[in-house]
Structure 1
Amino acid sequence: MSKILIIEDDFSIGEMMSIYLYEDGYEVKRAENGGEGERLLRQFQPDAIILDVMLPDIDGIQLCANVRQTSNIPILMISAKSEVSDRVRGLQTGADDYLCKPFSMRELSARVQALLRRSHSFASAAAELSVASTAPSQAQTQPDPPMKITLDTEKRCLLVHGKVVETTFSEFEIMKLFWQNQGKVYSREELLNRVRGFDSYVTERAIDVHIANLRKKIETDPKEPKHIKTVWGVGYKFLLS
């Protein structure tokens, strides 16, 4: 049973989310402020966090940043703030998804399922990689060096220099499109259409944020990218070498 921590100060919304997710089969705990949320994070050790941006004691954006210093736990940020700048700021801070109030409980549940699915895939891939790296080699000769960048679409796993690199759901979808169509130039609108089904509030500005985050994860020098190239006036393309 997956464990969900809800950090939400509005009692009615918090209770509604708790009841709905409990009936979906999750173990749920709720905190009414950031301080209590940090305490439950240590004690409860949840599999995902639903975090409200506006809390009485600490800004949810800051709390998200605090969590990201020590953990890669999936975070779904919720807020009545629907401005593009607010959503981009949340994603830049480290949230995996952003849901604007008001929202349906069905959509909330679907977002949580998607985050947990990605997180479990990442954990499984990391475990398999760890086992493979420690297993004794049967070959008598030195193996070929691993490719710098590898994408496993079935396990939803991105590897750089043989190490698993965590990505958000939207980042992986963009990387998957690049990987399967290397050298093809994609406009921001085309990339937007690729991820819109998973993030209904994503914008062309958010696409730039996703690209910047991917460059930080796969490029030796993100300011001088060798793989995710900008095609000025058009969009982006991916080159493996």
Structure 2
Amino acid sequence: MTKILVVEDDSLLGEMLTLYLSEEQFDVRRVETAKDGYDALRRFDPDAIVLDLMLPDAEGAEVCRFFREKSPVPIIVTSMKTAVADRIRAIMCGADDYLTKPYSVQELKVRIMAMLRRIAAYSPPVPSAAPARCRIGLDLERRTIVLDGRQIETTFSEYELMKLFTKHPGRVFSREELLNAIRGADSFVNERAMDVHIANLRRKIEPDAKQPQHIKTVWGVGYKFIN
């Protein structure tokens, strides 16, 4: 059963989410504080996290950053804040999606399912015909990048980007295409967020992130991947 960790201090909303998601056949663990969320991340080992940014004992963006550092599972941030700057900050701290309160619990479920489907989607391995040329690959079971045989941990969004890039080497993707591919066309789209994901990927896989050899910028269009 898919496990969902809900970090929400609003008792009424938290109980409603727990009841609804449980009825939809999810295994739900709800906590009300960041401290309990940290403990649940370790003990409960969730498949996805629904995180309220307004918590009584910690600043929400920092909680999101902590979760992202400790786990690659998808994070959906929920908040009453509607400013673009707040959305961008949440994404930069590791969130994979952002829902503004009040929101539909049905929409939350759909977004969770969409992210889980992308995790489970088949990604073909790098062809074995030319292993010497394949410096960058993917470990499908661990959901990591393999760089010269070395495992590189990624966030949910970074892994989905690399899965798309390695599946279509040389193809030029616009920022909008990349965002739609990793979050779905109905999710919040901001091109600045994509630039952040690309910068983080370059720091992880490029010998010199300032002069990238693999993830190339196509000015005025977007990005392409060269292995």
TM-score range, shorter chain: 0.7 to 0.9
Q: Deviations over 1:90-146 (max 9, x none)?
A: 122122332222222222112223444455679xx9xxxxxxxxxxxxxxxxx9647
Give the conservation status (yes or no) of the 8 Å contact 2:74–2:156: no
Give the conservation status (yes or no) of the 8 Å contact 2:218–2:224: yes
Supply the AA of the counterpart residue of 1:200.
S
Q: Deviations over 1:44-74 (max 9, x none)?
A: 3333321111111111211122233433343
From the superposition, tell whether residues 58 and 156 of structure 1 become closer, same or farther in structure 2 (CA, over 3 Å).
closer
- 1:22 Cα deviation (Å)? 0.4
TM-score after normalising by structure 1: 0.74
Question: 1: CA distance between counterparts of 2:45 and 2:112?
Answer: 16
2:193 to 189, 194, 206: 206
- Matched position secondary structure for 1:78: strand
Give the conservation status (yes or no) of the 8 Å contact 1:146–1:162: no
Identity score, percent: 53
- 1:169 Cα deviation (Å)? 5.2
2:212 to 201, 214, 225: 225
Residue 82 (structure 1) aligned with residue 69 (structure 2):
no
- Matched position secondary structure for 2:223: strand
Question: 2: CA distance between counterparts of 1:198 and 1:160?
Answer: 30
Residue 41 (structure 1) aligned with residue 41 (structure 2):
yes
Question: 1: CA distance between counterparts of 2:174 and 2:73?
Answer: 31
Supply the AA of the counterpart residue of 2:90.
G
Partner of 1:138: none
Give the conservation status (yes or no) of the 8 Å contact 1:91–1:97: yes
Residue 238 (structure 1) aligned with residue 214 (structure 2):
no
Give the conservation status (yes or no) of the 8 Å contact 2:176–2:189: no
Give the conservation status (yes or no) of the 8 Å contact 1:229–1:239: yes
Partner of 1:134: none
Segments of structure 1 that go 5 or more residues without pairing to the other structure are 126-142
- 1:181 Cα deviation (Å)? 4.2
TM-score after normalising by structure 2: 0.78
Partner of 1:9: 9
- 1:17 Cα deviation (Å)? 0.9
From the superposition, tell whether residues 97 and 59 of structure 1 become closer, same or farther in structure 2 (CA, over 3 Å).
same
How do 1:1-241 and structure 2 match up within 5 A?
1-118=1-118, 145=132, 147-150=134-137, 158-163=145-150, 165-168=152-155, 170-195=157-182, 197=184, 200-240=187-227
Question: 2: CA distance between counterparts of 1:54 and 1:118?
Answer: 28
- Matched position secondary structure for 1:29: strand
Q: Greater shift after overlay, 196-205 or 23-32?
A: 196-205
Structural RMSD (CA):
3.3
Question: 1: CA distance between counterparts of 2:171 and 2:70?
Answer: 37
| Higher RCO (CA < 8 A, seq sep 6+) | 2
From the superposition, tell whether residues 112 and 191 of structure 1 become closer, same or farther in structure 2 (CA, over 3 Å).
closer
Give the conservation status (yes or no) of the 8 Å contact 2:97–2:183: no
Supply the AA of the counterpart residue of 2:64.
C
- Matched position secondary structure for 1:183: coil
Give aligned pairs, total.
Answer: 221
From the superposition, tell whether residues 35 and 176 of structure 1 become closer, same or farther in structure 2 (CA, over 3 Å).
closer
From the superposition, tell whether residues 26 and 190 of structure 1 become closer, same or farther in structure 2 (CA, over 3 Å).
closer
Larger Rg, first or second structure (1 or 2): 1
Give the conservation status (yes or no) of the 8 Å contact 1:118–1:156: no
Give the conservation status (yes or no) of the 8 Å contact 2:97–2:188: no
Give the conservation status (yes or no) of the 8 Å contact 2:50–2:75: yes
